[in-house]
Amino acid sequence: EGVGVQEYTGLKMKVVKWAESAKDIESKLPQGASAYFIPATLRPETMYGQTSCFVSPTIEYGLFKVTDTEYFVCSARGARNMSYQPGIFPKWGESPQVASFKGKEVIGTMVNAPLSVHKEVYILPMETVKDTKGTAVVTCVPSDSPDDYITSFDLAKKAEYYGIQKEWVKFDDILPIIDTPTYGNLTAKKLVEDLKIQSPKDAAKLADAKEKAYKEGFYKGKMVYGDHQGKPVEEAKSLVRKQLIDAGDAFAYAE
């Protein structure tokens, strides 16, 4: 990775209903407390189009106590980084862990998606999630992220193989959020098709698509959905971020 600081937005996706396979984790949560999956995103302005949230089936996650009533689900690495930043965990350097589990145990959990047209979305598997950045939780926006688009495509096509229900993917329901001069209003779909990306494992092509999508979206994109419709992405990004933070649905997170 580069030397610069990444300004992520940590999104709070509240658990609505745990998967059957996550009952042990749920039992560690005190009465009256809520758990949140915490994806780290660089594109807060796209949150209107969240369709699911990804974890790696094989990465180790934890349930971390933030306050008496709030617990976070993320990687230990993510929790440690967050605990050393002001305003996230109340105590500097402290992120008490109450449960430890593999991502695959929480697949099928239903969470709330702040700002999204889909109020409730499912935790789904993404094999390319890395444990070396962010929180190892990635919210899925298939309109604007080529990785999210191709992973959703693959999950919908092979739902049974992945042990999920096809409806959980919401692949037929992709919302245009940003219009760009070069790729139209579903940038990720267009790039995946143009570059003939076949699978989430086409790493080189996906890196190319990601770069193209990011540049075009950020510098030339215009919002076509939400509270900042008509505004350039460059302007809307910080406005949507602030809106999420002010509502208590997100926080600033750098690494």
Binding ligand A2H (rule: CB under 6 A), the pick from 6, 165, 182, 229 is 6
- Does 215 engage in binding with ligand A2H (CB under 6 A)? no
Give the contact letters, 12-41, x = binds to ligand A2H (CB under 6 A), - = no: ----------------------------xx
Minimal distance, residue 60 CB to ligand A2H, in Å:
13
Please select the residue that binds ligand A2H; options are 112, 139, 151, 152, rule is CB under 6 A.
139
* Of the residues 130, 157, 215, 242, which one makes contact with ligand A2H according to CB under 6 A: 130
Residues in the chain: 255
Residue nearest to ligand A2H (CB): 134
Minimum Å gap between C-beta 98 and ligand A2H is: 22
Residue count, binding to ligand A2H (CB under 6 A): 20
Binding of ligand A2H by 124 (CB under 6 A)? no
Residue 231 burial class via C-beta count within 10 angstroms: exposed 0-12, middle 13-18, buried 19 and up? middle
Among 83, 109, 145, 243, binds ligand A2H (CB under 6 A): 145
210 touches ligand A2H (CB under 6 A): yes
214 contributes a contact to ligand A2H by CB under 6 A: yes
Which two structure tokens, joined as six digits, stand for 245?
């933070």
- Say whether residue 82 binds ligand A2H (CB under 6 A): no
> By C-beta, is 10 or 108 nearer to ligand A2H?
10
Q: Which residues of this chain interact with ligand A2H, rule CB under 6 A?
A: 6, 40-43, 46, 129-130, 133-134, 136, 138-141, 144-145, 148, 210, 214
